[in-house]
Structure 1
């Protein structure tokens, strides 16, 4: 999947979970800056797996620490 499409769809997922537009930047930390609690993170992961048709193992969650790292992860795991 192309990087621009991944970015666009990731942006949609973040917006769906209630993240304000102005906070969505590549360096933004998911847990500390965007998704404030465990419920937000759980919703984000559900929408991410659904939108990108990818399964994210618990061992891979640590790799998703920022918007940029999530884009990199999706580039490697999406066809």
Structure 2
């Protein structure tokens, strides 16, 4: 798998872009937002989220990893581990 260097700002911006494509409003996006309780994700939302997450970040997320995402910050932490991270 190819990795690319990303900045924190770019990482968050692209993650929030994925969430927006899933139908989440800007007002509801925050790091502590729970996918189930705050964002009301259902199976269709997860499918759309996974599609855009994999496409935008050029990664493959398996079901076990996806099931570990309880909130937006969990996804951000996962992405930091998958991509080469730069503090620039």
Asked if these proteins are the same fold (TM beyond 0.5), I'd say: yes
Partner Cα separation in structure 1 for residue 57 and residue 49 of structure 2: 12
Structure 2, gaps ≥5 residues long: 1-5
Structure number, greater radius of gyration: 2
Q: Which of structures 1 and 2 has the larger relative contact order (alpha carbons within 8 angstroms, sep 6+)?
A: 2
Say which SS state the counterpart of residue 64 (structure 1) adopts: coil
Structure 1 residue ranges (4+ consecutive) displaced by more than 3 angstroms after TM superposition: none
More strand by percentage: 2
24, 27, 31: which one aligns with 2:36: 31
Equivalences, count: 79
2:9 equivalent to 1:4: yes
In terms of fraction of residues, the more helix-rich structure is 1
What TM-score does the superposition give when structure 1 sets the normalisation length? 0.90
Residues 31 and 41 in structure 1, CA contact (< 8 A), matched pair in contact too: no
Gaps of 5+ in 1: none
Please report the TM-score for the alignment, with normalisation by the length of structure 2: 0.82
